[in-house]
């Protein structure tokens, strides 16, 4: 179809190409080892640590369609130990039997926080990609917000939307409600979050002073869900974060990263309590078993956490509502870096977590 | 290591073909080829079983990044660079230019773009494309059909011939899983 664009001269590898490739690989491997050592830890979500002791509780399991392993794809964790795995993690709005979103269908749960977590043992990284709830996606020809896919079509529709919009296959699904998240944080000993400037939310009562703060489960969840965050300025006045749900998504990413780090700090002696408390709160796809969780926990304890943020633009839709669209530029490098890791000397990508930290004034510590 | 060495020439040819079709510049295509091969080698243990498709995808993404930077530089200089001698565009013959193709691909949803790139720019088989993307061949067909339709719409001037034509087999769309 595109043969008319071919090079008219027959192709032959340039002299020295092999040597150049091998040289680059050696340099990057050296750099990768230097970067990975001594950085923050993680254990495959809190869930990985939670499951690191055999026996007792099992997480609730549900049938989820659209997962990559159904098609025998490249990211099939059950058959390829050590290969990267992508997990869709969803924090639900409400707790079991107690939905909390006024005016919505009480029988439906809306995802309040969504993230893709990429476990990459070979790279020594756990990568976390925040998914904006207001991202406009198309599923089967119908446009909707990303957070509307779950209540209308379950995890399968959410996974389809991600595949079609971002091109990111999902291997496994993990879901937790807010009560569960709160309990999980507490049993992990809390999250540590660095605060650059005084932060408050008068509606929820949240107030954080600058410094490295240890937050309990309730405070961590409140921070992740806060809609009316204000940050104190140099002159003492308070400035409202006007980004609405996007700002909330970013703070959710900080809280999730801090939760991952907390999971990595869990000692063996504490694991029985963690197991008793934790597993009962999570729901996973029925292809996920305890051995996978144990392997992730074991392999991921010394990995560093890297966070990613999708570039988006505001858009007012025909119905007058505000949505987020993927920006025309900059999405692919983020997805590539999230999926494959490594640096990109041709199109440098800041995947150090700095964008989220700069945008919120918060970071795990 | 050895298997990568054995596949080196074939993989470099795939990367170069994809990059040249998008860029039309031998030097830039070689730069993309080298970078794509470095990435393949770094992840050989994982991507080895579908290295050709993976190499093609990386090369296409890198080439589109090149295009993006070129466009930015052109806008910055407020000049329109002349198309290269090899930037063939002949709407009457149903041929699309590199610039049109790159811009059209960039506007496609990611999954459609990947499928169109692999199937028609890199000439990767449907089964291999499905394996790389972790989906079924039916899903590949569906994305190819939709991607080509969107490209066709995007690239066709009003009342003009279609610059991109889908092979007949691609119209056989099955329902997604």
Cβ partners under 8 Å of residue A38, min gap 6: none
- pLDDT of residue B89 exceeding 70, the answer is no
Q: What is d(CA A214, CA A193) in angstroms, rounded to the nearest whole number? A: 7
Q: Which of A200, A241, A239 is CA-nearest to residue A223? A: A200
Residues of A in contact with B136 (CB under 8 A): 71
Instruction: Please identify which residue in the block is written with the tokens 């994305």.
Output: B143
| Nearest residue on chain A to B113, alpha-carbon basis | A167
Closest of B65, B58, B67 to residue B12, by C-alpha: B58
Residue of B55, B110, B120 to mutate, testing the A interface (most A Cβ within 10 Å of its Cβ): B110
pLDDT of A110 reads 74
Q: Which of B17, B69, B164 is closest, CB to CB, to A1?
A: B164
- Cβ–Cβ gap B109/A71 under 8 Å: no
Q: Look at residues A339, A291, A304 and name the one whose alpha carbon lies nearest to residue A118.
A: A339
Instruction: Name beta bridge partners: A191.
Output: A215
pLDDT digits (tens, 9 = 90+) for A330-348: 787 788 788 877 543 222 2
Size of interface A-B (CB pairs under 8 A): 136
A332 Cβ under 8 Å from any chain B Cβ:
yes
What are the tens digits of pLDDT across the range B41-66? 887 877 788 888 889 988 988 888 78
Per-residue pLDDT band for B37 (boundaries 50, 70, 90) equals very high
pTM, to two decimals: 0.59
CB contact under 8 A, B131 and A14: no
Angle at A244 between CA A158 and CA A116, to 5 degrees: 30
B134/A336 touch (CB, cutoff 8 Å), yes or no: no
Cross-chain residue pair A2–B32, CB shorter than 8 Å: no
Per CB-CB distance under 8 Å, the chain A contacts of B46 are: 74, 83-84, 122
pLDDT in tens, A284-298: 888 776 666 666 665
- Of A13, A160, A166, nearest to B9 by CB-CB distance is A13
Quick check: helix, strand or coil at residue A142?
A: strand
Minimum CA–CA partner of B120 in chain A: A1
Which stretches of A48-102 are assigned E, i.e. beta strand? 60-62, 85-93
In this structure, are residues A82 and A299 in contact, taking their beta carbons and an 8 Å threshold? yes
The residue in chain B having the minimum alpha-carbon distance to the alpha carbon of residue A2 is B121
Q: Which residue of B has its CA nearest to A122?
A: B43
ipTM: 0.71
Q: Which is higher by pLDDT, B36 or A7?
A: B36
The pLDDT assigned to A342 comes to 57
Provide the residue-wise pLDDT of chain A in tens; the chain has 365 residues.
777 788 888 888 888 898 888 887 877 665 443 333 222 223 334 444 443 333 345 667 788 877 775 433 343 334 355 678 899 988 887 644 444 444 445 455 678 788 898 888 777 778 888 888 889 988 877 888 998 898 888 899 999 899 888 888 888 888 887 778 888 888 888 889 889 889 999 888 899 999 999 999 999 988 888 888 888 888 888 888 877 677 777 788 788 778 877 776 766 566 556 655 666 677 888 877 666 666 666 566 567 777 787 888 888 777 777 788 888 777 877 887 888 775 432 222 333 334 455 667 787 78
A residues 123-142 near B, CB within 8 Å?
138, 140
Type and span of the H or E element at A354? helix A354-360
Instruction: Please name the residue that has the structure tokens 């590539």.
Output: A336
Chain A residues in contact with B16 by the CB 8 A cut-off are 7, 11
pLDDT of residue A337: 80
- Nearest-Cα distance to chain B for A258, in Å, is 29
B101 or A350, greater pLDDT: B101
Of all residues in chain A, what percent carry a pLDDT higher than 90? 7
From A71, A122, A167, residue closest to B114, measured CB to CB: A167
CB contact under 8 A, A122 and B43: yes
**Calpha distance A63→B42 (Å, rounded):** 35
Q: Do A74 and B46 touch (CB under 8 A)?
A: yes
Q: What is the widest separation between alpha-carbon atoms in chain B?
A: 54
CA distance A74 to chain B (A): 6
Whether A262 and A188 have beta carbons less than 8 Å apart is answered as yes
Q: Which helix (H) or strand (E) holds A283?
A: strand A282-285
Confidence at residue B14, expressed as pLDDT on a 0 to 100 scale? 93
SS3 content of chain B, % helix, strand, coil (to 5): 75, 0, 25
**What was the pLDDT predicted at A46?**
45
Residues linked to residue A308 through DSSP beta bridges, in sequence order:
A129
pLDDT in tens, B122-168: 888 898 888 888 788 888 999 899 888 888 877 665 554 444 444 44
| Residue B73 distance to chain A (closest CA, Å) | 14
Planar angle of CA A238, A255, A291, nearest 5 degrees:
175
Residue A213 backbone dihedrals phi, psi, to 5 degrees: -105, 140
Name the closest residue on chain A to residue B42, using Cα atoms.
Answer: A25
Nearest CA in chain B to A29: B42
From the number of C-beta atoms within 10 Å of its C-beta (0-12, 13-18, 19+), residue A38 rates as exposed
Q: Decide: B160 and B91 in contact? Cβ < 8 Å.
A: yes
In a 3-state reduction of DSSP, which class is residue A198? Answer: coil
Residue of A3, A6, A7 to mutate, testing the B interface (most B Cβ within 10 Å of its Cβ) = A7
A1 touches chain B (CB under 8 A): yes
């Amino acid at each position: 179809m595109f043969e008319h664009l071919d090079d008219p001269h027959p192709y032959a590898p340039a002299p020295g190409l092999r040597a150049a490739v091998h040289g680059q690989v050696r340099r990057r491997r050296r750099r990768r080892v230097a970067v990975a050592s001594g950085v923050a830890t993680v254990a495959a979500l809190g869930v990985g640590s939670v499951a690191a002791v055999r026996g007792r509780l099992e997480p609730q399991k549900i049938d989820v369609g659209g997962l990559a392993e159904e098609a025998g794809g490249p990211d099939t964790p059950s058959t390829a130990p050590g290969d990267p795995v992508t997990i869709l993690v969803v924090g639900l709005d409400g707790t079991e039997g107690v939905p909390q979103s006024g005016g919505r269908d009480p029988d439906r749960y809306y995802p309040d926080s969504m993230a893709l977590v990429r476990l990459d043992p070979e790279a020594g990284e756990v990568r976390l990609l925040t998914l904006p709830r207001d991202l406009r996606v198309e599923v089967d020809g119908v446009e909707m917000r990303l957070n509307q896919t779950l209540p209308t079509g379950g995890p399968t529709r959410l996974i389809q939307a991600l595949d079609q919009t971002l091109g990111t296959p999902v291997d496994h699904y993990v879901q937790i409600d807010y009560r569960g998240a709160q309990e999980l944080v507490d049993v992990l000993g809390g999250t540590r979050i660095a605060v650059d400037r005084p932060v408050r939310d008068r509606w929820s009562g949240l107030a954080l002073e600058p410094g490295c703060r240890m937050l309990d489960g309730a405070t961590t969840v409140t921070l992740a869900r806060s809609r009316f965050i204000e940050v104190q300025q140099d002159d003492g006045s308070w400035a409202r974060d006007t980004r609405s749900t996007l700002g909330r998504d970013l703070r959710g990413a900080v809280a999730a990263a801090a939760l991952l780090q907390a999971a990595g700090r869990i000692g063996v002696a504490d694991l029985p309590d963690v197991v008793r408390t934790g597993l009962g709160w999570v729901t996973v796809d029925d292809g996920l078993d305890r051995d996978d969780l144990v392997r992730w926990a074991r392999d991921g304890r010394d990995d560093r956490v890297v966070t990613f943020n999708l570039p988006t633009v505001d858009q007012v839709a025909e119905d007058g509502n505000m949505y987020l669209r993927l920006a025309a530029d900059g999405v692919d490098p983020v997805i590539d870096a999230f999926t494959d890791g490594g640096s990109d000397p041709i199109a440098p990508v800041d995947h150090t977590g700095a964008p989220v930290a700069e945008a919120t004034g918060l970071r795990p510590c | 290591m050895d298997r990568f060495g054995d596949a080196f020439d074939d993989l470099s040819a795939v990367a170069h073909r994809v990059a040249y079709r998008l860029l039309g510049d031998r030097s830039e295509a070689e730069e993309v080829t080298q970078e794509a091969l470095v990435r393949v080698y770094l992840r050989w243990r994982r991507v080895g079983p579908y290295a050709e498709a993976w190499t093609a995808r990386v090369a296409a993404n890198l080439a589109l990044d090149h295009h993006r930077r070129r466009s930015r530089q052109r806008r910055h200089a407020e000049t329109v660079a002349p198309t290269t001698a090899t930037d063939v565009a002949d709407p009457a013959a149903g041929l699309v230019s590199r610039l049109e193709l790159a811009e059209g691909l960039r506007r496609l949803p990611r999954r459609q773009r990947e499928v169109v790139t692999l199937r028609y720019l890199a000439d990767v088989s449907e089964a291999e494309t499905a394996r790389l993307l972790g989906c079924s061949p039916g899903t590949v067909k569906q994305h190819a059909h939709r991607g080509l339709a969107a490209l066709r719409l995007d690239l066709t001037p009003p009342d003009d011939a279609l610059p991109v034509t889908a092979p007949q087999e691609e119209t056989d769309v099955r329902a997604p899983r």
